[in-house]
């Protein structure tokens, strides 16, 4: 019976994968990053092969989770700064924070297709982010909750689209403040009407000093 149950679970996971929908009970979900157009940055004369819209990848059965990259500056005394390569260049008046309604529309389309869309914090070769204390971590969690997740703010980069969680791609600094950041996010999740994800992207060598 145990072998049969395991086979049925595996078959169920494969069926879900064929439909390209995230399933938390499976270990074969596929995660990718979107928003940096790395090919385009190195091949400016080849726009035909630049990174496409977020919606275009949500029509691909390969991916179950897409991390939108990146929040490159936490800007703890103001509004966080995002970088989405050429996908969005408009900012809220008087700020350096992107306002991307078209990406918001794509996020909702992706979620309707069973994808999880997660906001990635950090990134490589950009060293303007970090937390210096537990209090910073808690305050930043409140900002992320209100601007990108289930809270409310006049500054919502993707308008009324509600992302499915956060990804920590922390490649600089140290781990100060991140445990408090995660704990504060989880406190918001307790009263939420949907489930949220928290993921991390460790670097080699493991364990990653930054995480």
**By three-state DSSP, how is residue 168 classified?**
strand
Of 22, 127, 112, the closest CA to residue 72 belongs to 127
**By three-state DSSP, how is residue 11 classified?**
helix
Query: Using alpha carbons only, what angle is made at residue 40 by residues 199 and 70, rounded to the nearest 5 degrees?
Result: 25
CA 57 – CA 53 distance, rounded (Å)? 7
Catalytic residue, candidates 171, 177, 178, 201: 171
Query: Is there a contact between 180 and 138 (Cβ–Cβ < 8 Å)?
Result: yes
Query: Using alpha carbons only, what angle is made at residue 99 by residues 98 and 101, rounded to the nearest 5 degrees?
Result: 140
Catalytic (active site) residue 171: yes
The catalytic residue positions are 171
């Amino acid at each position: 019976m145990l072998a049969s149950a395991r086979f049925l679970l595996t078959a169920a996971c494969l069926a879900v994968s064929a439909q390209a929908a995230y399933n938390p009970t499976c270990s074969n979900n596929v995660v990718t990053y979107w928003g940096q157009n790395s090919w385009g940055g190195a091949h400016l004369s080849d726009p035909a092969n630049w990174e496409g819209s977020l919606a275009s990848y949500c029509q691909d059965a390969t991916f179950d989770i897409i991390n939108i990259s990146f929040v490159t500056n936490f800007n703890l005394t103001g509004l966080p700064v995002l970088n989405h390569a050429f996908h969005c260049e408009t900012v809220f008046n008087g700020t350096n924070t992107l306002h991307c309604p078209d990406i918001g529309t794509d996020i909702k389309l992706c979620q309707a297709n069973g994808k999880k869309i997660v906001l990635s914090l950090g990134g490589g070769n950009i060293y303007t982010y970090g937390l210096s204390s537990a209090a910073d971590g808690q305050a930043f969690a409140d900002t992320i909750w209100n601007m990108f997740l289930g809270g409310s703010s006049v500054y919502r980069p993707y308008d009324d689209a509600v992302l499915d969680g956060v990804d920590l791609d922390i490649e600089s600094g140290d781990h100060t403040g991140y445990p408090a950041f995660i704990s504060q996010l989880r406190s918001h999740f307790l009263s939420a009407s949907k489930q949220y994800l928290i993921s991390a992207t460790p670097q080699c060598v493991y364990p990653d000093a930054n995480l």
